[in-house]
Amino acid sequence: MADRRCACHSHRKEKRCCGPFHAGKLPDTPTQLMRSRFAAYARGLYDYIIETTDPEGPRWVADRAAWVASMEQFTAMTRFAGLRIVEAEGDTVTFHAVLEQMGQDASFTERSVFVQRDGRWLYHSGDPTSPAPR
Ligand SMILES: [Zn+2]
């Protein structure tokens, strides 16, 4: 794991932030999982996104190849410019992601719901919230 800043914009080094989660350590909290999933999108770690998505939730995609292809398309056109945790409470995390797509602002705010299965936190679902809180 490279000695670089973490892609979740924590300003910490990757090896002391989301890197260990990408390498197999289990996040203790939904916020850690949320940050590490953002960083995984930014780094193109599609297996991590799949492994941390609830197979029983609405975001699960049965066709893995199609899922990876859509993530590749998304990340190829997106710059993951910033991340701010707005609120974390229980099994929900509200975050604001600063994204750019082809020079256009594509930022969004989402309230994500996480579930714990067999001791592992998984991303279950998310709802956009608007307008974005400041
Ligand atoms: Zn991180």
Q: How many domains does the chain divide into?
A: 1
Inside any domain, residue 13: no
Inside any domain, residue 20: no
Inside any domain, residue 6: no
Domain range spanning residue 33?
Answer: 29-128
Inside any domain, residue 124: yes
Q: What is the CATH number of the domain that holds 114?
A: 3.10.450.50
- Measured CA to CA, the distance from residue 88 to residue 65 in angstroms comes to 32
Inside any domain, residue 38: yes
Average pLDDT per block of 10 residues along the chain, 134 residues long:
87 97 98 98 98 97 98 97 97 97 95 96 91 52
Residue-wise pLDDT tens digits, 1-20: 558 999 999 999 999 999 99
Residue 35 alpha carbon to ligand 1 centre in Å: 6
Altogether, the residues listed in the chain come to a count of 134
- State the pLDDT at residue 3: 81
Residue 100 alpha carbon to ligand 1 centre in Å: 19
- State the pLDDT at residue 83: 98
- State the pLDDT at residue 129: 83
Mean pLDDT of the chain: 94
Query: For strand 108-117 and strand 120-128, is the pairing parallel, antiparallel, or unpaired?
Result: antiparallel
Residue 7 alpha carbon to ligand 1 centre in Å: 6
Residue 40's nearest CA partner among 123, 131, 104, 125 is: 123
Cα 102-103-109 angle, rounded to 5 deg: 90
- State the pLDDT at residue 50: 98
